[in-house]
Chains A and B, each alone.
Chain A
Amino acid sequence: MTKELENKLREEVRNLLEKGKVDRVIGYGAGSLRFAATPLIISDKADVDRLIINPFIHNNLSVFLPDVSGKVAIVAKECDARSIISLVQNKQIPRENVYIIGVPCSGIIDLGKVEKLTGLDRDEIDDISWQGDKVTIASAGGAKEFTAQEVLADSCLGCDAGGFREFDLVIGEMKPVAADKELIRKRIKDMEAMSPAERWEFWKNEFSRCIRCYACRQICPVCFCDRCFVEETEPQWISPLPRWQDNLIFQAVRMMHVAGRCTDCGECERACPVNIPLGILTGKMEDIVEELFEYRAGMDKDAPPLMAAYQPEEAEDLIR
């Protein structure tokens, strides 16, 4: 199945490059480690056969778009495609310079979850195969079977793909992700059930681990400011020292700055080397934006960015 898709993708991309419709293609290539996929930016059609599609292509490639010149074709899952449109809405890239190639996505397998479930390192796993609703993980100790929901990335469990209309081309047939919204909502519901003091304590504890590598910010396609507020010195908003207070302010302000641009693609949480559950924040932020303003980021290229627009009457119940 994925082989067919890959061949189709390569054929289409070769075609685009040959006809000169695009100068560059951003897609996924095989990574250097087991199961890893890596972003691949090519301009030569000799490299087309390096493009891959599989259940490990987690990267949101739209993060590279503002830096890649010329006309660019980009391989995108639906969640990532929303980030592309979010960039267009925010005038970071012109729509006509991007050719969005949609790939069917049934969800991304979270290797961290696989490791936890099997008690193995990814290096000890020989094969991960996905058939229907079952994911089989083979290692020297034998094969183990899990349901797709058990190993899918959290962001995929909350997937609400289906309404996106901006693809320039779709490879194969889009099919729904085996999402389990109840499961992923649970993280947010559990948080809401706590008292303010408990919630604050929770985040204090999480952010005390933060080493301020800024991977969450750097991997984020919609964190596109030339100069981030954390690096300003006059006034200095937060200390460069990674104290939990400053780490928390950094992340809270970052989240509020990307409200209405963030599509909850999950990359910030995946990138975090110290496992801070940022998805609980991005997921909630998407909810807040939808609930208050009936707005979903990256769905309509002609809609103004959330923060650049208003309705005469809205959110007045929050105002004195």
Chain B
Amino acid sequence: MKKIKKQSVRGLLEKWQKDFSVFVPSKASGSSQMAVWDGQDLAFLDRNRNTVVPPKANFLPNIEKMFGFRKEEDGYVLEPADEDAPRQLIFGIHPCDARAIAIIDMVFRDAYEDKYYLSRRQNTVLVGMACAAPYDNCFCTSLGFGPADATDVDIMLTDIGDSFVIEEITDRGKEAVAGAKDVVEATPADEKKAGEVKASARAMLSKEIDTDEIAKRLPAAFDDKSFWEEIAAKCVSCGICTFLCPTCYCFDINDEMLKDGSGARYRNWDCCSFAVYTRMPAENPREEKWRRVRQKVYHKYSFYPELFGIIGCTGCGRCIRQCPVNWDITETLNNLPAGSAARTEEKQKPS
């Protein structure tokens, strides 16, 4: 392991700025999100918290131009959007958000090769920050990792007071640190301190879910209409929990045309909480709110495990913290009806 003094991090960021767009947790724009480092603000070094808007926005932007088109005499001509995404380095990403990117990989890299996503993904270095102060809404430890898990980042930093301990996880991470000034070998005392910081963060987590029990109960709970109606009652069907979810990736595609027949195709975030999301000419399979709430829970805790063998939730708790009515997914998951009581009302309908 290596380490760097906090006052030297500015130099490191400046070095990275030569090769990358450096993103850091920032509130400068008025909302909390990953933003291009202004070269000044270093508040995030001492107080690093999850941003409200998750770093998925750096991979799946809310407005993505897919291609342009224009009308010629013998048909349409396509004009590809930017070939290669710019190289970016995301500084201070928490393990939960890094895990979320790894989860999105399964959809946009493994199940289908999405060139827009991949080009950003391949040009990104993730500099993780071990989470030192999890929020009350966090439950990452219930999902098989923890606030200091370094699996999904290229470099992991741990705050030990006046310095950061640096773990180089991937080759890309090693390369990014190589030749950096002021990066020195960590002493055993530093490593011990880092271990303590990580353990204390882990101990701060109080929220829990039991994923084995959830997996057992979910299949039968699907048809329990009254359960879902009750838990959905206070949901107002806004898009906060999905838009701010680091693993939610649903999108809508729209063409925008000018009068002369030219235009462009865009992709933007969409959300299963909206009734229009599934509206079709004949009917809407999820017109009722409880079906939409159920969909959200099942997508993360049932369909994801079936398709990819992993739960599509990292326990970051944004959906709980930012929810305007404090709808808490862990309460739902911890109170799923047990087994046989499920109603059969749903069975006739294909879903």
Contacts and interface: CB of A to CB of B under 8 A. Distances in A.
Contacts of B324: 59, 215, 219, 267, 270-271
A318 interface: no
A212 B239 contact: yes
B269 interface: yes
Contact of A123 (B133, B239, B252): B133
Interface in A179-209: 205-206, 209
Nearest to B233: A41
B266 A241 contact: yes
B59 interface: no
Nearest to A242: B62
Nearest to B331: A32
Nearest to B244: A273
Interface string A27-54: 0000111101111110000000000000
Interface string B250-269: 00101010000000001011
Contacts of A123: 133, 135-136
A213 B271 contact: yes
Contacts of A41: 233-234
A219 B236 contact: yes
A147 interface: no
Contacts of B234: 38-41, 64
B133 A271 contact: no
Contacts of B328: 31-33, 38
B238 A39 contact: no
Nearest to B268: A241
B65 to A, nearest CB: 10
Contact of B326 (A38, A231, A273): A38
A15 interface: no
Interface residues of A, number: 43
B325 interface: yes
A64 B324 CA distance: 13
A42 B10 CA distance: 55
Interface in B22-63: 29-31, 49, 52-53, 62-63
B237 interface: yes
B29 A209 contact: yes
Contacts of A209: 29-31
Interface string A252-275: 000000000000000100110111
A209 B137 CA distance: 24
A213 B137 contact: no
Given A39-B234, A211-B62, A242-B62, A32 B30 contact: no
Given A33-B136, A121-B49, A231-B276, A239 B237 contact: no
A242 B268 contact: yes
Given A33-B320, A121-B133, A209-B29, A63 B331 contact: no
A291 interface: no
A304 B217 CA distance: 51
Contacts of B238: 213-215, 217-219, 271
Interface string B75-99: 0000000000000000000000000
Interface bin, chain B: 35 or more
Contact of A239 (B53, B137, B256): B256
Interface string A263-290: 0000100110111100000000000000
Given A123-B136, A242-B63, A218 B30 contact: no
A270 B324 CA distance: 8
B322 interface: yes
Interface string A224-251: 0000000100000001111100000000
Contacts of A121: 49, 133, 135
A242 B236 CA distance: 21
A124 interface: yes
A240 B236 contact: no
B276 to A, nearest CB: 5
A31 B326 contact: yes
B249 interface: no
B273 to A, nearest CB: 9
B203 to A, nearest CB: 14
Most-contacted residue by chain A among B53, B62, B233, B331 (CB, 10 A): B233
Interface string A44-83: 0000000000000001000110011000000000000000
A253 to B, nearest CB: 17
A275 B30 contact: yes
B330 interface: yes
A38 B325 contact: yes
A59 B325 contact: yes
Interface string B295-333: 000000000000000000000000011101111101100
24 contacts: A32-B320, A38-B234, A38-B325, A38-B327, A39-B234, A40-B234, A121-B49, A122-B136, A123-B135, A206-B30, A211-B239, A215-B239, A215-B240, A219-B238, A239-B256, A240-B268, A242-B62, A271-B238, A273-B240, A273-B244, A273-B322, A274-B52, A275-B30, A276-B30
Given A215-B238, A240-B252, A273-B52, 12 more contacts: A39-B325, A41-B233, A121-B49, A123-B135, A123-B136, A212-B62, A219-B238, A219-B324, A219-B325, A241-B254, A267-B324, A275-B31
The list of the 4 closest CB pairs from A to B, nearest first, reads A213-B239, A274-B31, A215-B238, A271-B324
Interface of B: 29-31, 49, 52-53, 62-63, 133, 135-137, 233-234, 236-240, 243-244, 252, 254, 256, 266, 268-269, 271, 274, 276, 289, 320-322, 324-328, 330-331
